[in-house]
Amino acid sequence: MPIKVTLLGAGSGFTQPLFTDILNIDGIDRGIIGLVDVDKKRLDVNVKLMHRILELMGKTKWKIHASTDRKEVLKGTDYLISTIEVSGVQCVRHDNDIPLKYGISQCIGDTIGPGGIMKALRTLPSFVEILEDAKRLCPNALIMNYTNPMSMMTLGSIRSTDQPFVGLCHSVQGTSWHLAQIAGVPHFDMIWRCGGINHMAWFTELSYKGKDLYPVLLEAMEDKEVYERDPVRLDFMKHFGYFVTESSGHFSEYVPYYRKRKDLLKKYCRDNYLGGESFYADCWPGWRKDTDKARREMAAGKREINLGRGHEYASDIIEGHLFDRKKIIYASVANTGLIPNLPQTGVVEVAVVVDKRGYTPTYFGNLPEQCAAMCRSNMTVFELCVQGVLNNDREPIIHAMMLDPLSAAVCSPGEIRQMAEELFGAEKNYIPDWCAAPKAGAKPKKRKRTGKAKPKADGAAAVSSMAARNVK
C-alpha cells in the first residue's frame, strides 16, 4: 500500500529538498505526495516542480494530491510535515522595527524576543486548528514541525494533541560539522553529546580518539580568521565552557550580553548571520522573491535541481519508522525527565530514536548548571507565551516579553508593555482578536507605584484574525 506524505506550507522552499530526500529512501517505490498551501500561485509552481522531479528521478508510481484546502489532503496521511508561515512577509518589519524603537536590536527575530513571540502569536493558533483536523482526518500520522519559533510551536502542540510529534531543526547536525572543521578532525570520527533546547543545545562532550577537543577549540579561536567566522559563540564558549548549537547572530538574541549597547554590537556582532542588526527584516522579502524565481526556473527545466539526499531529518524519520531501520535524530520533545535540571513541563532538544515504534527520546542527564540557567531563562518565555495563546490571555504574552533576556536587558517593564501594545496594534490583522487590543475599559494588571508607562492601545476593533490567517 502506498504511503502518503503531506506537507503544509508547500509553497515554501522546503518542498523540493524534503521530497527529494524522501524519494531517495531505498525501498519506497510508490506513494502520494500531499501539498497544501493557501497561496495558489506558489502552490502551483511547486506542483509543477514536483512533477518534474518525479520525471527526472523515474518515480512513475508516485502521485501528487495538491489543494489550498488542507482538509482535502489530510485524509489518509501517514506522515504530516509542517513548514507553514502565517502572514508571509507582512509582519517582518513590524517584528523588527517596533522593538528597535525601544532599543531592542534583533538579527533574525523569529525564535524568542519580541519577534519570536509575535511569530508564535500569529502561528500557534492556526497550528492548533491544524492539529485538530489531523486528529480527525489522519489520527495515525507521525507529525513533524519545521516552523519557528520551534520550542513554542512544539510546547503548544504537545499540549494540544496526543499524536506522535517532534520539532525538527538542523542546528545540531550543522554545528557538529562546524566544530569538526574548527578542530580539524574528521566529522564521523568525532565523539559528542548534545542536549538543551532548540537553538540553545550544548555540546557537553566533544572528543576525537579520546582527546578532549575543547582545548583545541580555545586555541583555535585565538586565530582571528577562525574567530571572525563565529565571534559570539566562540566568546560564549570561552566564558561558559561549552559550545552552543545556533549561529552567532541568532544566539546573540537569546542572551542579555551582546546586543544591549552599540559598543557591544560593534565588538561582537558582524554582518548578516553573524549578528547584523535588522538582517532578516532587510533581506527576507528579497530572499522570498529569489526563491520563488529559482523554483519557477527549476520547474521549467531552466535551472539544475539537486536530486541527492540532504541532511534534514524528515526522510530519516519516515525511513526509520516505515522499515524499522533505527535512526538517531535530534528533535524538540516533551521533557519527561530527559534533562532533570530543566523544567519538566517544558520542551527540550535531545537525541531521539526512530523505528517502527515511532519516536523514543533518550535520557540526557543534567546540563552544566550555567548552561541550564541559560536554557531556563528562555524556557520561561516559551511557557508564558504558550499559556497566553492556549488560554486566550494576552497578559502572559506581555509577561513573556518582559522576561525575554534581551528585552529585559534594554527596557523597563513599562516600556516593554507599551512596545507589546504597539506590536499588537500593528499586527492586529494576523493575531487573534483577544490579543489584538484590550477589551473596552480594561486596564493591565499591575501593582501600585510600579512606575509603568500606560500602554498605547489601538482602540480600533481588530478584524477577525481567523479570516486573515494565512493557513487553512
DSSP secondary structure letters along 3-25: EEEEEESTTSTTHHHHHHHHHTS
Question: What's the sign of the alpha-carbon dihedral 401, 403, 404, 405?
Answer: positive
pLDDT at 429 exceeding the cut of 80: yes
Q: 249 and 195 in contact (C-beta within 8 Å)?
A: no
Report the pLDDT averaged over residues 315-337. 98
Q: Once rounded to an integer, what is the mean pLDDT over residues 272-289?
A: 95
C-alpha span between 272 and 107 (Å, rounded): 8
pLDDT exceeds cutoff 70 at 466: no
Q: At what angle do helices 113-137 and 369-390 cross, to 10 degrees?
A: 60
CA dihedral 70, 76, 79, 83 (to 10 degrees): 0
Spacing of C-alpha 38 from chain mean position = 20
Q: Can you tell me the distance from the alpha carbon of 249 to that of 165, in angstroms, rounded to the nearest whole number?
A: 28
Beta strands in 198-341 (DSSP E): 200-208, 211-212, 243-244, 327-334
pLDDT at 437: 83
Instruction: Region of 16 please: left (phi>0), alpha (psi -120 to 50) or beta.
Output: alpha
Rg over alpha carbons for the chain, rounded to the nearest Å, is 22
Query: Residues 138-151: pLDDT tens digits?
Result: 999 999 999 999 99
Left if phi > 0, otherwise alpha if psi is -120 to 50, otherwise beta: which for 210? left
Q: pLDDT at position 449, please?
A: 38
Q: Which long-range contacts (CB under 8 A, 24 or more apart) does 227-235 make?
A: 228/270, 229/274, 230/178, 230/182, 230/274, 231/268, 231/269, 231/270, 231/274, 231/275, 232/258, 232/268, 232/269, 232/274, 232/275, 235/268
Which residue(s) pair with 359 in the sheet? Answer: 354
pLDDT for the residue numbered 309: 95
Q: Taking residues 251-277, what's their average pLDDT?
A: 97
Q: Span 417-440, mean pLDDT?
A: 93
- Cis preceding linkage at 149, omega within 30: yes
Torsion, Cα of 220, 221, 227, 233 (10° steps): 120
| Residue closest to 95 by CA, chosen among 326, 385, 390, 427 | 427
How many residues are given for the chain? Answer: 472
Cβ pair 267, 192 in contact under 8 A: no
Helices (H) and strands (E) in the chain, counts: 20, 13
Question: Is a pLDDT exceeding 60 seen at residue 462?
Answer: no
Q: How confident is the model at residue 438 (pLDDT cuts 50, 70, 90)?
A: confident
Mean pLDDT across 225-246: 98
CATH class of 3-89+110-170+290-323: alpha beta
Q: Nearest CA to 143 among 324, 28, 6, 21?
A: 6
pTM for the predicted model, two decimal places: 0.92
Domain definitions of the chain by residue range? 3-89+110-170+290-323, 172-277
- Give CA separation, 49 vs 45, 152, 296, 297, in Å: 6, 32, 8, 9
Q: SS3 sequence, 64-112?
A: EEEECCHHHHHCCCCEEEECCCCCCCCCHHHHHHHHHHCCCCCCCCCCC
- pLDDT higher than 60, residue 156: yes
Question: What is the pLDDT averaged over residues 288-293?
Answer: 94
Which residue is associated with the grid cell 494588571?
445
pLDDT of 264 strictly over 80: yes
* Least confident residue range of 67-76, 268-277, 398-407, 449-458: 449-458
Cβ(151)–Cβ(384) below 8 Å:
no
170, 178, 199, 399: which is the annotated catalytic residue?
170
Per-residue pLDDT reduced to its tens digit, 200-211 = 999 999 999 999
Tell me the mean pLDDT in the region 440-447: 50
Kind plus residue range of the DSSP H or E element containing 191: strand 190-197
List the alpha helices (DSSP H) in 256-342: 262-268, 279-299, 314-323
Q: For residue 287, what are the contacts with CB-CB under 8 A and spacing of at least 6?
A: none
Spatial distance between the Cα atoms of 412 and 407, rounded to a whole number of angstroms: 9
Helices 413-426, 394-403: inter-axial angle, 10-degree rounding: 130
Please give the grid coordinates belonging to residue 344.
519538566
Whole-number Å distance between alpha carbons of 41 and 57:
25
Taking a C-beta distance cutoff of 8 angstroms, is the pair 258, 275 a contact? yes
321-355 burial string, b = 16+ CB within 10 Å, else e?
Answer: bbeeeebebbbbbbbeebbeebbeebbbbbbbebe
Q: Is the pLDDT of residue 174 over 50?
A: yes
Say yes or no to pLDDT of 440 above 80.
no
Q: Is 170 a catalytic residue?
A: yes
Least confident span in 238-252, 263-277, 406-420, 451-465: 451-465
